[in-house]
A and B are shown apart, each in its own frame.
Chain A
Amino acid sequence: MSGWTGKALHVDLTTGQSRVEEIPREWFEQYWGGRGLADRYLYDLMDPAIDPLSPDNVLIFATGPLTGTSTPCGARYMVVTKGLLTGAITTSNSGGFFGPELKFAGYDLLILRGKASAPSYLFIYDDRVEVRSAESYWGKTVSETEDGLRRELGIPGLRVACIGPAGEKLVRFACIMNDKHRAAGRSGVGAVMGSKNLKAIAVRGTGSVSIAQPEAFWQAVAAMNAAMADHPGRQSFSEQGTAAVMDLTNAYGALPTRNFQQGQFEYAENLNGTAIRATRLVANKACFACTIACGRVTKLDGGADKYLVNMHPRNWKMAGEGPEYENAWSLGADCGVGDLDAVIKANWLCNDLGMDPISMGATLAAAMELYEKGHLTDEQVDLPLRFGSGEALVRMVEATGYREGFGDMLAEGSKIMSEKLGHPEVFMGVKGQEFPAYEPRGFQGMGVAYATCNRGACHLRAWTPALETQEGVDPHTPEGKGEWVAHEQNRTTAHDATGICLFVGAAGGPLETFVPCYAAATGLPVTLEDALVVGERTWNLERLWNLRAGHSRATDTLPKRLLTEAFTEGPSAGVVVHLEPMLDEYYRTRQWTSDGVPTPEKLSQLGLDSL
């Protein structure tokens, strides 16, 4: 088989038994791989209504047909499971080197079920698959776990995906980390892994990925490389990292600040790509096969002694990774913190404890709003949770990872926390998952993108600033946004089926440029139109799954603050989100009913009517 390995590795953690399955050919043709293929398995293998922390929840690691090839940025794998934060299907993507290694070991998919009786790790060396004791790693941080497994196993080229203390303690937004600094970040996939008593997956693969039509493949790769080489988007990612986006969102009044109470942050210049590059950057770091290298290895410069923490064993290693734009926002602007050292430390702590910095910062921001408004008293919290306090930020990140003191409350995520504290209005998110770094009152389209995303609030399924910053497009009007978002979701979903990083799209290498790579790698004569159908089919399948999990139009919604309260100043002053007309347009475009249910005609057209 070319492109794919054709195999799924099933491991039952309860019994420790594993088996290899040939993946049905028609599923490859219908879903391509990665996210789509894993979605199809999840649909078959579990009841969407079960508790995400149940042993019956299925945890899938999925590579794509282009993962492990030299197609630019073919590094990605997708974690697919029922999200703890959302109660919806979640598809959490990560780069680094773990995904390709799993594929070189011979597997398109790794499918985990059950629950180990004691802390365990999964060891995969090509055909050899063992569930082993991880007693000595339980409680350890991400970097300690990876270093420890490398020492224990002594295998050059070993790659590790693991959870930190946050995943063990079922922090609701815990990540699965791989290669120490890369994260399958959102929706609490790390807590699902922790609930299975699975600390880590250590994999070494010495096999190969073959290509069906080498000549066509290399031509397509060369064309993609040529398109990306001098593209301004690629140069910006390389030079400034993702934090370059902060200048854009701040200029549009779309940089959510102090838990979405403002749309611009006065200290944005302390946290943007230019500031990080000028004062903190050590080196760019690439994922596997990446020609962009947006990753930021950073150092603390003179600020190493500020904000020391209590329990974390590393006070402080001098180099780590981040912040990305999202983290610079969540830990910075959303908490009102303008000190880059505090943001970097909090980011490194999130990485090493294994937590999603977006939900971490956003949950803390909600708590800070409650504290500032007097709804949280000094007796309830460990230290004053004032907006702008770097001390509070760094200390509470650590406390959350270990569920210490008020951190135990923050670890529930901002929806459950705000409900427990009697103020649900401060939760800023959708389907239980906190918003990322785009204010829908600045970019209207993000409102419908967030509301309709299958994995809760997410910016990676339809990034509307691509449309709304264009000449002649009004970022504040709802018209056309629902339709655009529906089409864009299909595109990104097809993208996620290939194993290619989403960032190539903004760096001169959109879906059009690598569908030929996919066609040549697998030997399937497909076009862009076929890709969009695969994306639409997958999106509808995820929707069917979510409907069975209890989601509906009622949960395709936004917090009241965005719908009724406008900013009084800045570029987005006077704007609220007009969700209902956008949602109606979105459902119409998707050919769903007004309740958000795919019509039988649509399902039949996509070949989903038998499900």
Chain B
Amino acid sequence: MTAALKIVPDRCTGCMQCELACSWSKTGTFQPAASLIRVHIFDEEAAYAPYTCLQCEEAWCMTVCPTHAIVHDEATGTKRIVSSLCIGCHLCSLTCPFGTVFTRPDNGQAAKCDLCGGQPACSAVCPTDAIEFVDVEETGEWFAPWGDKVAQRHAEAFGS
């Protein structure tokens, strides 16, 4: 059993309270530029969704890091950045398929979600419960519809 952030985009209103809470937990100030969760606004579709690290089991950021600064944290199930080892090369940011390894505005090091050590601030503060922190066996049931949609678009575009 492990815990993960379950994001429900339909509930998101785009208010950015999650970014404020995240930046507070990391810096002790309100600084969205330092937030490790970001709200994306899809203007044309009138849709909003926060996105953050999915804590991939096969984590490319961890694999690619030349200084082994990203480690697997057994206690929380997260991939965590050891700042004393990070040299700020951002190979991890380039490699991440989801664009969720960010840059610290204060020192240029890489920064990513660590689930606040097991009590994510973003989830606690969301006024519409669009970010749930739940125990999971696997995330398949959330991602399956998304995967189906991608497969369908791929089929439409490439005919297979």
Contact = CB atoms under 8 A, between A and B. Distances in A.
Interface of A: 68-70, 97, 100, 104, 157, 180, 205-211, 214, 225, 282-291, 293, 297, 317, 319
B20 to A, nearest CB: 4
Q: Which of A68, A97, A208, A287 has the most C-beta atoms of chain B within 10 angstroms of its own C-beta?
A: A208
Given A206-B105, A208-B23, A282-B46, A289 B32 contact: no
B141 interface: no
B13 A319 contact: no
Contacts of B47: 283
Interface in B103-150: 105, 125, 127-128
A206 B29 contact: no
B95 interface: no
Contact of B32 (A104, A284, A287): A104
A288 B33 contact: no
A288 B105 contact: no
A70 B24 contact: yes
B33 A104 contact: yes
B10 to A, nearest CB: 9
Contact of A319 (B16, B28, B44): B44
Contacts of B31: 104, 206-209
B14 A285 contact: yes
19 contacts: A69-B20, A104-B32, A206-B31, A207-B105, A208-B34, A209-B31, A210-B28, A211-B29, A211-B30, A283-B47, A283-B48, A285-B46, A286-B15, A287-B15, A289-B15, A289-B20, A290-B15, A293-B13, A319-B44
Contacts of A287: 15
Contact of A70 (B30, B43, B45, B105): B30
B43 A180 contact: yes
A436 B14 CA distance: 29
B46 A286 contact: no
A70 B125 CA distance: 9
A157 B128 CA distance: 23
A207 B14 contact: no
Contacts of B23: 208
B16 A283 contact: no
Contact of B15 (A210, A282, A291): A291
A209 B30 contact: yes
B30 A69 contact: yes
Nearest to B21: A70
Nearest to B47: A283
A293 B126 CA distance: 13
A288 B30 contact: no
A319 B45 contact: yes
The 8 closest A-B pairs by CB, nearest first: A208-B31, A286-B15, A206-B33, A208-B29, A286-B13, A293-B13, A297-B46, A291-B127
A288 B30 CA distance: 12
B50 to A, nearest CB: 12
A367 B45 CA distance: 37
Q: Which of B20, B27, B30, B127 has the most C-beta atoms of chain A within 10 angstroms of its own C-beta?
A: B30
B17 interface: yes
B16 A68 contact: no
Contacts of B27: 208
Nearest to B32: A104
Given A214-B28, A288-B15, A70 B20 contact: yes
A569 to B, nearest CB: 41
